C-alpha cells in the first residue's frame, strides 16, 4: 500500500506544533518512518525537538538528504479563521490548517515518497531526513543542532533538498538555488537634552539621525548579479518618543534591515555602516552606537547537477521548467549550504503564515510524484 501524503499531511496539521512546541508532529513522523525501515534519532537541544532519520548504510557513497520543519507560526487572529486551524479539514479541494503549506505538506510528501521508494526499489545508497521543530523561531537549536549532531556522528548528505514552498502562484514554476543574506542594524544616537528655546545648551540627536538614515538608505549597494536581485537597505523605524513640544530629546533610535546578495558579506556591510556612523557622529558632535544581528549570509548553489536533477523532475511532472530563483526571505538552506550542495523545491506558498492557510490537495500528491521522480533519477 503506497503511503498517502494527504492523510499524512492531515495527521501532521492536527499536531499543534507552534514553535517551539513539538505538538506530537515529530513523534508521529518518527513512528511512520521507523515502521518503514528508517533508523530514527531525536536530536533535541535547548528545548527544541528535532528528528534525524536514515534509511540505508551510514557513509554510503550517495546519500540524498531532505531538510524540512514541522513547527508552524502562531495562528494570528484566531477569530478570523473560517476553518479550525488544527482541524485539517478539506473543503473545495483545499486542506486547511496552520502549516498546511509551510510546510507539513512538504514533509509529508517527501516522507511518503521516500517510504514507498525504499520499499519498492531499494536504492544503492542512503536517504536521510533532517527535520527540525524550530525553523520559524530563532533556529539556533533547529537545523543547526541537526547538522552539528550529524558532523559529530559521521552522518553526511551528498546533496540536500529543502522542501519549503518555492512556487509563487503555480506548481512547478520556481525553485531556489540560493538566498539573499539578511541582517538588521540598530542605531542609538545620543546628544544632550535641553530646552527647545535654548538649543545652544543642548545637542539635538535628530539631525544626525536624519543624516545617517539618509546616507545609509540612499546608497546604491549594487545593481544585482547573475542570479540575484539588487541588495536593499530599508529603514524600518526611527524612534524618539518625545511627547513634548519644547524639549530637545537626548536620544533617538533606529533600525534598518538589509537583504544582500553575493556581492556583500555581513562583515563588510557592518564595517561600512560603522564608518558612516562614525563620520556622522564626528560631524554632528553626537555619540552613535551600533549593534548588528545577522540572520544569514547570502549563498548560491551554482546551477549544475543538482539543480538540473530537480528541474528535470519538476518539468517531467508539471510540464513547467522552474525558474532558478534566489528571492524571498531566509530559510534553513543557509545552514545546510555549509555541508553539501542544497536547493529548495516545494509547492505553492501563497497562503503561508496567513489566516486560513491551505493547500490544494492535488498539489500534495503532485509534490510526492515529483519527489519520487527526483529519488529515482538520483539513484538511477
Ligand atoms: Zn517554512
> Which element (helix H / strand E) includes 211?
helix 205-218
Residues 19 and 72: beta-carbon distance below 8 Å: yes
Cell numbers found for residue 250? 537626548
Q: Supply the pLDDT for residue 262.
A: 93
Q: What is the block-wise mean pLDDT of the chain (380 residues), using blocks of 10 residues?
A: 96 97 98 98 97 96 97 96 98 98 98 98 97 92 97 97 96 96 97 97 97 98 95 97 96 98 97 98 98 94 96 98 91 93 96 96 98 97
Residue with cell string 492557510: 357
What distance in angstroms lies between residue 162's CA and the mean position of ligand 1's atoms?
A: 9
Q: What are phi and psi of 58, to 5 degrees?
A: -65, 135
Residues 6+ apart with CB under 8 A from 275: none
Report the SS3 class of residue 269. Answer: helix
Separation of alpha carbons 258 and 70, rounded Å: 28
Strand-pairing partners, residue 63, are 126
What's the gap in Å between 188 CA and the centre of ligand 1? 33
Helix (H, G, I), strand (E, B) or coil at 47: coil
Alpha-carbon span 64 to 264, nearest angstrom? 31
Query: How many whole angstroms from 223 Cα to the centroid of ligand 1?
Result: 29
CA of 102 to the centre of ligand 1 (A): 5
Distances 333 to 27, 92, 142, 179, 258 between C-alpha atoms, Å: 24, 33, 12, 8, 19
Q: What is the pLDDT of residue 328?
A: 84
The DSSP output letter for 229 is P
Q: How many whole angstroms from 96 Cα to the centroid of ligand 1? A: 16
Distance from the alpha carbon of residue 256 to the mean position of ligand 1, in angstroms: 24
- Of 251, 135, 229, the residue nearest 180 (C-alpha): 229
> How confident is the model at residue 139, as a pLDDT?
86
Dist. CA 305 → ligand 1 center (Å): 25
- 163 CA distance to ligand 1 middle (Å): 8
Q: What is the rounded radius of gyration, in angstroms, for the C-alpha atoms of the chain?
A: 24
Task: Write down the pLDDT at residue 362.
Answer: 97
* Residue of 226, 214, 217 lying closest to 258 (CA atoms): 217
Residue with cell 527647545: 196
Q: Which residues are catalytic?
A: 71, 135
130 phi/psi in degrees, rounded to 5: -115, 100
Q: Is the dihedral of CA 162, 168, 171, 172 positive or negative?
A: negative
Q: What is the pLDDT of residue 1?
A: 87
Residue 346 makes CB contacts below 8 A (sequence gap 6+) with 103, 106, 162, 163, 164, 165, 166, 167, 367
Rounded to two decimals, what is the model's pTM?
0.89
Quote the ligand 1 centre to 28 CA distance (angstroms): 19
Q: What's the gap in Å between 352 CA and the centre of ligand 1? A: 8
Domains of the chain plus CATH, in order, are 5-179+298-379 (3.40.630.10), 181-296 (3.30.70.360)
Task: Kindly write down the DSSP assignment for every residue of 3-69, as one continuous string.
Answer: --HHHHHHHHHTS--BTT--TTHHHHHHHHHHHTT-EEEE--BTTB-EEEEEES-TT-SSEEEEEEE
Distance CA 9, CA 364 (A): 8
Q: How far is the CA of 136 from the centre of ligand 1 (A)?
A: 7
Q: How far is ligand 1, taken at its centre, from the CA of residue 259, in Å?
A: 18
Amino acid at each position: 500500500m503506497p503511503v498517502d501524503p494527504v492523510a499524512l499531511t492531515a495527521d501532521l496539521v492536527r499536531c499543534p506544533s507552534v514553535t517551539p512546541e513539538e505538538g506530537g508532529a515529530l513523534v508521529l513522523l518518527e513512528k511512520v518512518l521507523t515502521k518503514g525501515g528508517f533508523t530514527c534519532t531525536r536530536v533535541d537541544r535547548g528545548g527544541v525537538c528535532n528528528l534525524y532519520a536514515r534509511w540505508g548504510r551510514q557513509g554510503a557513497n550517495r546519500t540524498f538528504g531532505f531538510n524540512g520543519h514541522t513547527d508552524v507560526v502562531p495562528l494570528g487572529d484566531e477569530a478570523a479563521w473560517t476553518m479550525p486551524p488544527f482541524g485539517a479539514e478539506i473543503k473545495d479541494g483545499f486542506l486547511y490548517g496552520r502549516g498546511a503549506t509551510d510546510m507539513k505538506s512538504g514533509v509529508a510528501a517527501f516522507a511518503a515518497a521516500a517510504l514507498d521508494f525504499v520499499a519498492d526499489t531499494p536504492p544503492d545508497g542512503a536517504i536521510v531526513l533532517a527535520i527540525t521543530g524550530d525553523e520559524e523561531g530563532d533556529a539556533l537549536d533547529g537545523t543547526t543542532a541537526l547538522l552539528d549532531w550529524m558532523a559529530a556522528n559521521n552522518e553526511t548528505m551528498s546533496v540536500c533538498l529543502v522542501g519549503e514552498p518555492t512556487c509563487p502562484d503555480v506548481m512547478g514554476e520556481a525553485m531556489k538555488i540560493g538566498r539573499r543574506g539578511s541582517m538588521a542594524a540598530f542605531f542609538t544616537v545620543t546628544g544632550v537634552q535641553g530646552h527647545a528655546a535654548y538649543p545652544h545648551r543642548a545637542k539635538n540627536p535628530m539631525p544626525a539621525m536624519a543624516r545617517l538614515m539618509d546616507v545609509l538608505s540612499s546608497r546604491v549597494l549594487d545593481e544585482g548579479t547573475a542570479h540575484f536581485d539588487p541588495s536593499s537597505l530599508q529603514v524600518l523605524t526611527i524612534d524618539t518618543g518625545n511627547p513634548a513640544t519644547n524639549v530637545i530629546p537626548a536620544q533617538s533610535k533606529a533600525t534598518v534591515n538589509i537583504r544582500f546578495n553575493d556581492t556583500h558579506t555581513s562583515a563588510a556591510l557592518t564595517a561600512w555602516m560603522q564608518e558612516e556612523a562614525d563620520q556622522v557622529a564626528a560631524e554632528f558632535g553626537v555619540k552613535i552606537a551600533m549593534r548588528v544581528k545577522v540572520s544569514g549570509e547570502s549563498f548560491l548553489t551554482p546551477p549544475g547537477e543538482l539543480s538540473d536533477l530537480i528541474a528535470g523532475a519538476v518539468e517531467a511532472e508539471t510540464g513547467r521548467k522552474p525558474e532558478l530563483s534566489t528571492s524571498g526571505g531566509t530559510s534553513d538552506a543557509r545552514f545546510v549550504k555549509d555541508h553539501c550542495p542544497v536547493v529548495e523545491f516545494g509547492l505553492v506558498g501563497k497562503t503561508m503564515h496567513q489566516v486560513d492557510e491551505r493547500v490544494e490537495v492535488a498539489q500534495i500528491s503532485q509534490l510526492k510524484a515529483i519527489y519520487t521522480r527526483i529519488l529515482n533519477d538520483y539513484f538511477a
